[in-house]
C-alpha cells in the first residue's frame, strides 16, 4: 500500500502506534536458517546442509514519485541510498528522501489521517475519503461484491474541495490543510454524516465520497484519499460478526433426549 511520506509531512493523528506487529513476526520466523539432515536407516547422520536466512535489515519498501521523470521508477530502498543508475550509462536519477513521495507499507501500518494512493485493480485497505482520481470529473469505479454481493461496478466521486490534491507534494503541502469531522464508526454501509472544513468553508461528505475496505478499484488508473477508519472500525469488519444459530426449538429439545436415550438400554 502506497502511503505519503517524506518532506515535512507529519500525520496530525494523535492515535498511538501499535506496539506489536504480526507481519514482522511471520517474516522473522520464516527467515530462520534451516538445517537439512540426511540420515541412514540406522539413524546416523551422514550429511547436513544449512540454508542461510535472509538478512532482517534489508528494506523491502519501494519509493514512488509523481512527476513524469520518475513516476515509472520503482526504486527499492536498498538501491536508493545515493543514486540509481538507469539503462543509459551517463544518466542517473537522484533520490531525495526529504522530498514528498509514496512509500509502500503493510496494511497494518496504516493510521487514521494517512494519505494513500490506490491503483487500478487493487483492494481497499481501509475506509478512505476520496480526494482526487485520475478520471474526468473525479469519478472512481469500485467493485463491491465483497460487501453486498453485487458484481456491477459502483461509481464514487471525490470531494470537490479536495480535487486539487493529485500528487504527493500537494498532499504534503501546508497550504492544503483541511479538517474532517464525521460520526463514530457505524455498521451502516449506506449512511455517513461527515464534513470537510477548508479554511472557513464547510463541504459535506457522505458514502458517495468514500471507498470502503473490502471493495476493489476498477477501471480507474489511481485514486488518492485520506484514511478515515482502519482495522476494527471499518464497515466490513463491524459487519462480520458471528453467524447466529439457525437451530429451532424442537431440535434443541430433541438433541439432549436422543443423547440420553441409548444409555437407558
Q: What is the bridge-based pairing of β-strands 222-229 and 115-119? A: antiparallel
Q: What is the pLDDT of residue 22?
A: 60
pLDDT reading at 233 higher than 80: yes
C-beta neighbour count of 126 within 10 angstroms: 23
* Half-sphere exposure for 241 (CA within 13 Å, toward CB): 6
Q: What is the pLDDT of residue 55?
A: 44
pTM over 0.85: no
Q: What is the pLDDT of residue 120?
A: 95
On average, the pLDDT of the chain sits at 78
pLDDT reading at 60 higher than 50: no
When pLDDT is averaged across residues 182-203 and rounded to a whole number, the result is 92
* pLDDT 10s digits, 18-38: 666 665 555 554 455 445 555
Q: What is the pLDDT of residue 20?
A: 67
Per-residue confidence at 239, pLDDT binned at 50, 70, 90?
confident
Backbone angles phi, psi at 154, to 5 degrees: -110, 145
Q: What is the pLDDT of residue 265?
A: 54
Q: What is the pLDDT of residue 246?
A: 81
When pLDDT is averaged across residues 39-58 and rounded to a whole number, the result is 50
Query: What architecture (CATH level 2) is domain 110-240?
Result: Distorted Sandwich (2.70)
* pLDDT 10s digits, 140-149: 999 999 988 8
pLDDT reading at 176 higher than 80: yes
Q: What is the pLDDT of residue 49?
A: 47
**What is the 3-class SS of 125-174, one letter each residue?**
CCEEEEEEECCHHHEEEEECHHHHCCCCEEEEECCHHHCCCCCHHHHHCH
* pLDDT 10s digits, 97-142: 678 889 998 988 899 999 999 999 999 999 999 999 999 899 999 9
Amino acid at each position: 500500500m502506497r502511503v505519503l511520506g517524506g518532506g515535512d509531512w507529519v500525520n496530525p493523528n494523535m492515535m498511538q502506534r501499535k506496539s506489536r506487529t504480526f507481519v514482522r513476526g511471520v517474516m522473522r520466523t520464516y527467515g530462520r536458517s534451516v538445517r537439512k539432515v540426511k540420515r541412514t536407516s540406522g539413524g546416523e547422520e551422514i550429511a547436513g546442509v544449512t540454508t542461510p536466512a535472509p538478512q532482517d535489515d534489508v528494506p523491502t519498501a519501494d519509493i514512488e514519485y509523481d512527476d513524469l521523470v520518475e513516476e515509472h521508477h520503482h526504486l527499492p530502498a536498498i538501491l536508493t541510498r545515493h543514486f540509481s543508475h538507469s539503462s543509459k550509462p551517463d544518466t542517473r536519477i537522484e533520490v531525495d528522501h526529504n522530498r514528498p513521495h509514496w512509500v509502500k507499507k503493510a496494511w497494518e501500518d496504516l493510521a487514521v489521517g494517512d494519505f494513500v494512493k490506490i491503483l487500478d485493480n487493487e483492494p481497499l485497505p481501509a475506509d478512505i475519503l476520496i480526494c482526487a482520481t485520475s478520471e474526468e470529473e473525479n469519478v472512481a469505479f469500485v467493485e463491491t461484491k465483497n460487501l453486498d454481493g453485487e458484481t456491477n461496478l459502483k461509481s464514487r466521486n471525490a470531494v470537490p474541495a479536495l480535487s486539487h490534491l493529485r500528487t504527493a507534494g500537494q498532499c504534503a503541502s501546508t497550504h492544503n490543510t483541511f479538517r474532517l469531522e464525521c460520526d463514530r464508526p457505524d455498521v451502516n454501509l449506506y449512511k455517513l454524516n461527515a464534513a470537510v472544513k477548508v479554511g472557513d468553508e464547510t463541504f459535506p461528505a457522505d458514502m458517495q465520497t468514500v471507498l470502503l475496505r473490502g471493495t476493489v478499484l476498477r477501471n480507474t488508473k489511481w485514486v488518492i484519499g485520506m484514511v478515515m477508519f482502519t482495522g476494527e472500525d471499518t464497515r466490513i469488519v463491524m459487519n462480520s460478526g458471528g453467524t447466529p444459530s439457525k437451530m429451532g426449538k424442537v431440535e434443541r429439545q430433541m438433541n439432549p433426549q436422543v443423547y440420553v436415550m441409548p444409555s437407558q438400554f
